C-alpha cells in the first residue's frame, strides 16, 4: 500500500528536510485531501506536537473526519493516543515515547495497547547512522531497528521505519536496510525516507513493504496517477 503524507506545522501542510529545515509549504489540507482521494489511507503527522511546541489538533480532527488516516506526532501519553482515536484516526503512530534511555518502554506501550488496542498501534523506528533516533531525530539511542523489531511485536500491529539519513533529500533510499527489516518481522512494515522513484516504490511493494511518501509527491517527482495505479 502507498500512504501519501500530510505533515502539519503552524496550521499548514509542509515538507521538511532531515526533520529540521522547511523545504516547502503545500496546498491547503483540504486541497491535499482532494489530491489524495484515490488512496485508501493517508498518513498525518503533527510536527508541532512532535516537537513539543503546540499542536494542530483541530486540523488532525478534521482530516480524520474526512479520510482514513494513521496519525502521529507527540504521542507521549495514553490520553493523547486515545484522543487521536476519538478524533477518528484508524491507527496511532508512537515514536520517541516507545523508548527509554536504556531500551523499550514496555510499560507505556502496554498501557497504550490496553487503551486503544494493539491492532491500532504503530511504532515508529527512525534510524540515522544505523541507530534509532528520538526527540525529533535530535538524540541517538544505542538501539538499532533490527534488534528491537521482534521484542516490539507484542505491543503493536506494525512499524513505520524511516531512513533518516536520506529523508527529504530526494537521493533514493536504502532498500537493503528495508529488506533486512522485512526479514526481521512478520508484522506490517511501512518504509519512509528518501523514496524518490517509481522503481524505489516497486521494489518496496515487491518485498511486502508499504511506502509512505512525502517530498517526492510534493515536488512532482512522483505522479499521483502513477502511484495510484501501482497501489491498485
Compute φ and ψ for 121, nearest 5 degrees: -100, 130
For residue 170, pLDDT beyond 80: no
Q: What is the mean pLDDT of residues 61-81?
A: 95
pLDDT of 231 reads 79
The pLDDT, as a whole number, for residue 71 is: 97
Q: Answer yes or no: is pLDDT of 23 > 90.
A: no
Among candidate residues 7, 46, 48, 200, the one labeled active-site is 7
Q: What is the mean pLDDT of residues 199-209?
A: 97
How sure is the predictor about 218, in pLDDT bands with cuts at 50, 70 and 90?
A: very high
Q: What is the distance between the alpha carbons of residues 214 and 4, in angstroms, rounded to a whole number?
A: 6
Domain ranges of the chain: 2-231
Q: Does 64 score more than 90 pLDDT?
A: yes
Q: What is the pLDDT of residue 168?
A: 63
Known catalytic membership, residue 165: no
b or e along 149-172 (b: 16 or more beta carbons within 10 Å of the residue's beta carbon)? beebbebbbbbbbbbbbbbbeeee
Q: What is the pLDDT of residue 199?
A: 96
For residue 17, the model assigns a pLDDT of 81
Taking only the tens place, the pLDDT of each residue in 175-201 is 999 999 999 999 999 999 999 999 999
- Number of residues that this document lists for the chain: 232
pLDDT-derived band at 169, boundaries 50, 70, 90: low
Instruction: Report the predicted TM-score, pTM, of the whole model to 2 decimal places.
Output: 0.94
The one catalytic residue in 46, 48, 126, 200 is 126
Q: At residue 149, what are phi and psi to the nearest 5 degrees? A: -55, -50
Mean pLDDT of 153-161: 98
Q: HEC profile for 91-110? A: EEEECHHHECCCCECHHHHH
Q: Where are the alpha helices (DSSP H) in 88-213?
A: 106-116, 145-152, 175-184, 198-206
First and final CA of the chain: distance in angstroms? 8
- When pLDDT is cut at 50, 70 and 90, the band that residue 166 belongs to is confident
Cα 168 to chain centroid distance, Å, stands at 13
126 is catalytic: yes
Whole-angstrom Cα distance, residue 182 to residue 205? 11
Q: Which residues of 44-62 are buried (b: 16+ CB within 10 A; e: fewer)?
A: bbbbbbbbeeebbbebbbb
Q: Could you give the percent of the chain with pLDDT greater than 90?
A: 80
Strand partners, 92: 71, 121
Please, what CATH class does the domain formed by 2-231 belong to? alpha beta
The pLDDT of residue 210 is above 90: yes
115-140 confidence digits (pLDDT tens): 999 999 999 999 998 899 887 777 88
Amino acid at each position: 500500500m502507498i500512504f501519501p503524507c500530510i505533515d502539519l506545522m503552524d496550521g499548514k501542510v509542509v515538507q521538511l528536510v532531515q526533520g529540521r529545515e522547511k523545504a516547502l509549504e503545500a496546498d491547503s489540507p483540504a486541497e491535499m485531501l482532494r489530491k489524495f482521494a484515490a488512496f485508501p489511507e493517508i498518513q498525518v503527522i503533527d510536527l508541532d506536537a512532535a516537537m513539543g511546541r503546540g499542536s494542530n489538533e483541530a486540523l488532525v480532527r478534521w482530516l480524520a473526519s474526512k479520510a482514513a488516516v494513521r496519525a502521529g506526532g507527540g504521542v507521549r501519553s495514553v490520553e493523547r493516543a486515545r484522543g487521536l482515536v476519538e478524533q477518528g484516526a484508524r491507527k496511532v503512530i508512537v515514536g520517541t515515547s516507545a523508548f527509554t534511555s536504556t531500551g523499550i518502554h514496555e510499560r507505556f506501550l502496554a498501557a497504550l495497547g490496553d487503551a486503544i488496542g494493539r491492532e491500532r498501534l504503530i511504532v515508529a523506528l527512525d534510524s540515522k547512522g544505523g541507530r534509532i533516533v528520538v526527540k525529533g531525530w535530535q538524540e541517538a539511542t544505542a538501539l538499532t531497528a533490527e534488534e528491537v523489531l521482534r521484542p516490539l511485536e507484542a505491543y503493536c500491529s506494525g512499524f513505520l521505519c524511516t531512513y533518516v539519513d536520506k529523508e527529504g533529500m530526494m537521493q533514493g533510499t536504502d532498500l537493503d536496510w528495508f529488506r533486512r527489516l522485512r526479514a526481521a518481522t512478520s508484522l506490517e512494515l511501512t518504509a519512509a525516507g528518501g523514496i524518490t522513484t517509481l522503481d524505489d516504490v516497486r521494489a518496496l511493494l515487491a518485498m511486502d513493504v508499504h511506502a509512505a511518501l512525502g517530498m517526492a509527491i510534493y515536488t512532482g517527482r512522483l505522479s499521483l496517477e502513477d502511484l495510484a495505479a501501482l497501489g491498485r
